[in-house]
Structure 1
Amino acid sequence: MTERIHRHLFTASVILVGLNLRPILASIGPLLDSIQRDTGLNDSAASLLTTLPVIMMGVCLLATTPLRKTIGDRQGILLGIALIFLACLARIWWPGGAPLLLTAAIGGIGIAIVQALMPLAIRRNAGGAAASVMGFYSTAIMGGALIASMASPWLSEKWHWPSTLGFWALPAILGIIAWLIGGDRSEPERIVAQPGIYRHRRAWALLIFFGLGTGAYTLVLAWLPPFFTQLGWSAQAAGNILGALTAAEVVAGIGVSFLVSHSRDRRPALFAALALLLAGMVMLALSPLTLAWPAALAAGLGIGALFPLSLIVALDHGEGSQVAGVILGFVQGGGYILAASLPFAAGVLRQNLADLTPAWWLMAALCLVLGALALRFRPSDRISTQF
């Protein structure tokens, strides 16, 4: 196999694997009212169907180095996809509230393993195109959410919701096959522990930035459809608004993939993404029915650019794949735990206030915090291997 063919196969396998990292989350929101009705889950407990996988993703990502030492990158990614497959499949036969939470945790572990190891595999296999392949990978993640959010309400009209949730085991099979054919072929690295990153202020700034930015993604993923069904929309229409938002995310992610290599300074792109996200949140808070579609477009473009950019900025700070791996494990691990707090807080607000508008205002305020953090991310900054 020539080097060029391998790189094309590797990129294709990365995309197919990435498509499987969000359907287990994105398929919940459009079906949440039916799930709650049949299982008796209240709003706070129902929010755990999205929050729990994100928490598990964070906890597992903090253990990136031990994970790599134990199972290796190639086998680890394969294991992660297999866990996603099993979690989706189990939902067909065990659809109760407790089994749904258990499969959410299992799926979250699978997602975490892939997300801990894939950026490092990309950095080793993609060479000078690593930033672009990372952009395609991030876009594929959002693309999986788009497909699941739009297809799930339609599938649920033909099947009951447990079968709809279980359907997403099928693309996981494709991801497994793709990774077996075109996955990581690089020589295994000698993995050296890099303790002490938690003492580095810049690492914490990157963690908070990634966590709050990803929190916007998990927030809309979990609660945008229920927000609109509460306003009188049908489940199909609410799924479509989430689909439109996710489609905008994909467009923004593709744009980042093609443009990211043109400048080493990521801050102008970060500020543009945050401005769009802020505009979307304000429109949802002030006039959700009149401005639903412009709000979805603006928020989607902002989130879609912010997610890959935050990963790329974290990669920029590492000198070599070893340091980059430690940084990404810390940033994503703690960041996902932080991100999980936003959909859970929104669930508590909805249960106690019967209104999600304060959640949109909260995210709007956090955009200002993110802007202040982005000012610090100069292209010349690096994190020392000595931490």
Structure 2
Amino acid sequence: MSDPLKKASPVLLVIAIFLVSINLRPAVAAIGPLVSQMMGDTGINSTVVGLLTMIPVFLMGVGAVYVRQMRAVLGERGGIALGVVIVALSSLARYWLPSGSGLLATAVGAGIGIALVQSLMPGFAKRNFAASTSRVIGLYSTGIVVGASIAAGTAAGISDVIGWTGTLAVWSAPAIIAVFLWGVASPHAASERTARSSLGGDRSPPFWRSARCWSLMVFFGVGTGAFMLAMAWIPPFYLEQGVERSKAGLLLSVLTVIEAVTALAVAAFIHHFPDRRGPLVFSLLVTALGFVVLYVWPVELAYGAMALLGIGIGILFPLSIIVAIDHIDDATMAGNFTSFVQGGGYILASFVPLFAGAVRDSLSDLSRVWLIMTVGSLAMVALALRYSPESYRRFSMSLRQPPGFGAAEVTR
């Protein structure tokens, strides 16, 4: 453990990371249970609802691509703080901007804030927690899911009291608290502010040359796409099935609670699985089965589908980040690499809820989307089987070689 972390209090820093992470999904997760009210009051269609999810996720990806520049200008600690402030302001602004254009504008703001935090947090965690990084990232991922769960589960009830605009705005409060605790916990933590090369330079290898990078990017995109698809469209889907609004929100809450518990279990036990392939394949198979149940028995086995998807995605989401971090030991390079993978993955994932919205507008049915996600989850098993610990070492060695000497071949 580094000297800066000893001064910073690791327990307080972990609590701050967890509280920050709680604020990274409510801007998206609270929308699903409120769709019918929002569409009725603003006149937006399903494609625009899809955009409200797509825009933040797409910007998460764009932000990750420029992580080196953000780190150089803002530093990890300052950039994370700024990101949470922007999330708080974007959430609060939704109270005064109750229109389609206002919702889209605040979605942009929330996406920028979330992008700052998510791009900088993996490198910050690796720099400060070294061998315990996987546990901290697992806890951080759990916080993301916990925030989504609370937002989804409480949205319908809160909106009955203060309306849907107030429900979206209320999430500025925990973000403000998170900024305060982050300011208290992080000043003495290890945090790289300036790049070791010039701002326009790139001390990292050209990751885009490696097939393994693209493989991990697609893998992360499919897992995150499943997560975002559930956030955006589970409640509207069940409303179409004749389920009450409160129960539709409850189903999403059940899914995200199970995700949170599962992600927490990943944080606690993942160190027992240095070879991540077993948990990865298990998560993909369970996720695929969940989508099958959602297609065949959506109402009869609604809670079973939520349980399967919660377990599958709850393992898949944190592990897709952990596996990327596993590939590189150096904290700064690992942060850059993880952001490269997450950047492309989030951009791919952002089109999943938008595609689902377009399908709903054209077919008035989301069932075919569940089948497509089943196929995608099963296809990812072939990639997961290639992520052996030995392949991490080959990949890391390839980064030390001059360009053109086999980096693109490290896929096994």
Q: TM-score, normalised by structure 1?
A: 0.97
Q: Deviations over 1:97-146 (max 9, x none)?
A: 00100100110110011000011111111232111011000000000000
Aligned to 2:223: 213
Whole-angstrom CA distance in 1 between matches of 2:112 and 2:299 = 37
Aligned to 1:30: 33
Aligned to 2:268: 258
Cα displacement (A) at 1:208: 0.3
The match for 1:166 among 166, 169, 176 is 169
1:80 alignment partner, SS class = helix
Find out whether 1:191 has 2:205 as its counterpart: no
Q: Deviations over 1:207-256 (max 9, x none)?
A: 00000110000011000000001111121110000000001101110110
Cα displacement (A) at 1:188: 2.7
- RMSD of aligned residue pairs (Cα, Å): 1.4
Aligned to 1:49: 52
Q: Deviations over 1:133-166 (max 9, x none)?
A: 1100000000000000011111001011111100
Query: Aligned pairs, how many?
Result: 387
Whole-angstrom CA distance in 2 between matches of 1:64 and 1:195 = 14
Aligned to 1:130: 133
Is 1:213–1:370's contact at 8 Å kept on the other side of the alignment?
no
Cα displacement (A) at 1:189: 6.2
Cα displacement (A) at 1:264: 1.0
Is 1:252–1:305's contact at 8 Å kept on the other side of the alignment?
yes
Cα displacement (A) at 1:183: 2.2
1:380 alignment partner, SS class = helix
Aligned to 1:234: 244
Whole-angstrom CA distance in 2 between matches of 1:116 and 1:130 = 15
Matched letter for residue 263 of structure 2: G
Q: 1:31 to 1:272 in 2, by over 3 A?
A: same
1:265 alignment partner, SS class = coil
Is 2:137–2:318's contact at 8 Å kept on the other side of the alignment?
yes
Aligned to 2:213: 203
Q: Any runs of at least 4 consecutive aligned residues in structure 1 with deviations exceeding 4 A, and if so which? A: none
Cα displacement (A) at 1:4: 8.0
Matched letter for residue 214 of structure 1: T
Find out whether 1:62 has 2:65 as its counterpart: yes
The match for 2:152 among 137, 149, 152 is 149
Q: 1:152 to 1:14 in 2, by over 3 A?
A: same
Aligned to 2:378: 368
1:355 alignment partner, SS class = coil
The match for 1:286 among 296, 307, 319 is 296
Gaps (5+ residues) in structure 2? Answer: 197-201, 401-406, 408-412
Is 2:252–2:306's contact at 8 Å kept on the other side of the alignment?
yes
Whole-angstrom CA distance in 1 between matches of 2:20 and 2:5 = 22
The match for 1:306 among 298, 316, 331 is 316
Find out whether 1:273 has 2:283 as its counterpart: yes
Aligned to 2:124: 121
Matched letter for residue 160 of structure 1: G
Is 1:147–1:243's contact at 8 Å kept on the other side of the alignment?
yes
Q: Deviations over 1:19-39 (max 9, x none)?
A: 000010100000011101111
Aligned to 1:95: 98
The match for 1:19 among 22, 32, 48 is 22
The match for 2:333 among 315, 320, 323 is 323
Whole-angstrom CA distance in 1 between matches of 2:7 and 2:257 = 30
Is 1:191–1:322's contact at 8 Å kept on the other side of the alignment?
no
Cα displacement (A) at 1:191: 2.5
Q: Percent identity?
A: 40
Cα displacement (A) at 1:381: 2.0
Whole-angstrom CA distance in 2 between matches of 1:4 and 1:80 = 24
Matched letter for residue 33 of structure 1: S
Whole-angstrom CA distance in 1 between matches of 2:207 and 2:126 = 20
Is 2:8–2:185's contact at 8 Å kept on the other side of the alignment?
no
Aligned to 1:341: 351
The answer to which of 188-197 and 86-95 deviates more is 188-197
Matched letter for residue 115 of structure 1: Q
Aligned to 1:356: 366
Matched letter for residue 277 of structure 1: T
Aligned to 1:181: 184
Whole-angstrom CA distance in 1 between matches of 2:138 and 2:67 = 21
Is 1:56–1:109's contact at 8 Å kept on the other side of the alignment?
yes
Q: 1:179 to 1:280 in 2, by over 3 A?
A: same
Q: Deviations over 1:176-201 (max 9, x none)?
A: 01110112611536634224110110
Whole-angstrom CA distance in 2 between matches of 1:370 and 1:82 = 36
The answer to which of 189-198 and 326-335 deviates more is 189-198
Gaps (5+ residues) in structure 1? Answer: none
Q: 1:272 to 1:191 in 2, by over 3 A?
A: same
Q: 1:94 to 1:310 in 2, by over 3 A?
A: same
Whole-angstrom CA distance in 2 between matches of 1:188 and 1:288 = 48
Whole-angstrom CA distance in 1 between matches of 2:92 and 2:310 = 29
Q: TM-score, normalised by structure 2?
A: 0.92
Cα displacement (A) at 1:335: 0.3
